[in-house]
């Protein structure tokens, strides 16, 4: 019972595969507050840094707007539409730098949250969104509560920042009535920029709260149950039973190929019962003897039995057999330090082949340390 409950709880962090699939579907963390703060702050900064240029262009545009060619318009009333289009185009050209800055700032939020991702899957209509039950769940669920909290914080932060700015500038606002028009406009614009800067700071503070929450909420939604993690591991890495079966089949195939090479060996060095190593050497083709088969216990018995069936020389040299088994690799040359000992074995085998009709020559003493220098001894 407890295990089933644990398996149903989303307590595990999302795997890399789950995160990758979510990104491919366009499901990535997003913070509207961060995007709004970035665009608004960039716009304010651009206005402050380009204020003189924008003001000069605005003055020229205003002069052009207030000094139309009245006589020409009276003669050709259709020219009024061309004149209005000219004014709109001039106004748009003035605002182009601000628009470009805001467009660039619009990419800051997505990049900071999770990078820019373009997914065609997110454009596919989702019929589940049309389900009234899902809409009710979203309306009264934890997501709607979080959005309500953010809305209240937005009102509190922006309203509080604007209130502080206005409260601190009441005397300045009242003094504008006693100033000449140009000075009043200059001071009024300065106060407006300051008010916007306070508002941008409030939005930045809200974004600093919302962005970490959105990342945490994104990870929380993608959390997995233990059963899902185990199922994904099976799908990506394969079932342990299947992998074990594959390893068993691979070992069987390897042993089959190894046994097929035993009849062509020149000698089988044995322990005599626990270890067996089959060696092959072809003069002129090999630099040194090669290990074609090796094994312990049952495999060693099979190697020895197969060698006897095909009249391969069986030589008992326990230290050398153990050393060859530990250090030799299938299909590769024997270690250099064992050259001399194996050379004695092969010389004895060749003599044995030449003297088959006569008495069997005695095996010379094989002087070899079965452990390589520096190796760990049992």
- Structure-block tokens of residue 256: 């089959």
Phi-psi region of 284 (alpha: psi -120 to 50; beta: other; left: phi over 0): left
The mean pLDDT value for 147-154 works out to 85
CB 206 within 8 A of CB 150: yes
CA distance 277 to 292: 8
**What are the helix (H) ranges across 50-121?**
51-66, 70-75, 79-105, 108-113
pLDDT at 120 over 80: no
Q: Which helix (H) or strand (E) holds 338?
A: none
The mean pLDDT value for 175-183 works out to 79
| CA dist 226 → 12, 144, 233, 243, 342 (Å) | 6, 29, 11, 21, 56
The DSSP bridge partners found for residue 322 are none
Residue 345: CB atoms within 10 A of its CB come to 24
pLDDT at 123 over 60: no
Task: List the strands of the sheet with 313-316, edge to edge.
Answer: 290-296, 275-280, 267-270, 313-316
CB 268 within 8 A of CB 315: yes
pLDDT tens readout for residues 46-100: 888 887 787 788 878 888 877 777 776 667 777 777 778 888 888 888 888 888 8
pLDDT at 357 over 60: no
Residue 203: CB atoms within 10 A of its CB come to 23
CA distance 169 to 65: 33
The mean pLDDT value for 10-20 works out to 82
The DSSP bridge partners found for residue 313 are 267
pLDDT tens readout for residues 182-220: 777 777 778 888 888 899 889 889 988 888 888 888 888
- Structure-block tokens of residue 142: 């934890």
């Amino acid at each position: 019972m407890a295990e089933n409950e644990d398996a149903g709880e989303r307590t595990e962090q999302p795997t890399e595969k789950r995160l990758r699939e979510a990104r491919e579907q366009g499901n990535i963390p997003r913070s509207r507050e961060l995007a709004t703060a970035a665009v608004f702050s960039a716009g304010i900064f651009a206005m402050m840094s380009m204020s003189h240029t924008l003001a000069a262009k605005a003055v020229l545009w205003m002069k052009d707007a207030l000094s139309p060619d009245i006589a020409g318009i009276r003669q050709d009333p259709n020219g009024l539409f061309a004149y209005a289009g000219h004014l709109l185009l001039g106004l748009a050209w003035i605002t182009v730098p601000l628009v470009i800055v805001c467009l660039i700032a619009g990419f800051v939020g997505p990049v900071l949250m999770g990078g820019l991702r373009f997914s065609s899957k997110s454009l596919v209509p989702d019929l589940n969104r049309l389900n009234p039950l899902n809409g009710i769940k979203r309306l009264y669920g934890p997501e709607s509560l979080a959005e309500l909290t953010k809305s209240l914080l937005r009102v509190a932060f922006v309203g509080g920042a604007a209130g502080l700015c206005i409260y601190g500038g009441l005397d300045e606002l009242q003094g504008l009535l006693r100033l000449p028009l140009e000075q009043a406009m200059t001071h009024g614009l300065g106060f407006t920029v300051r008010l916007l800067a306070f508002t941008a700071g409030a939005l930045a503070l809200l974004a600093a709260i919302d962005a970490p929450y959105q990342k945490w909420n994104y990870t929380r939604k993608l959390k997995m149950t233990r059963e899902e993690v185990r199922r994904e591991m099976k799908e990506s890495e394969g079932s342990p039973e299947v992998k074990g079966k594959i390893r068993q089949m691979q070992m069987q195939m390897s042993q089959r190929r190894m046994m097929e090479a035993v009849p062509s060996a020149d000698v089988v060095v044995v322990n005599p019962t626990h270890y067996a190593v089959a060696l092959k050497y072809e003069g002129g083709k090999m630099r040194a003897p090669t290990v074609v088969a090796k094994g312990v216990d049952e495999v060693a018995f099979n190697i020895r039995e197969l060698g006897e069936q095909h009249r391969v020389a069986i030589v008992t040299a326990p230290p050398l057999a153990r050393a060859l088994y530990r250090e030799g690799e299938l299909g590769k040359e024997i270690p250099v330090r064992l050259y001399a000992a194996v050379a004695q074995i092969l010389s004895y085998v060749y003599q044995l082949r030449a003297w088959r009709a006569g008495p069997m020559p005695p095996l010379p003493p094989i002087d070899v340390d079965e452990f390589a220098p520096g190796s760990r001894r049992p």
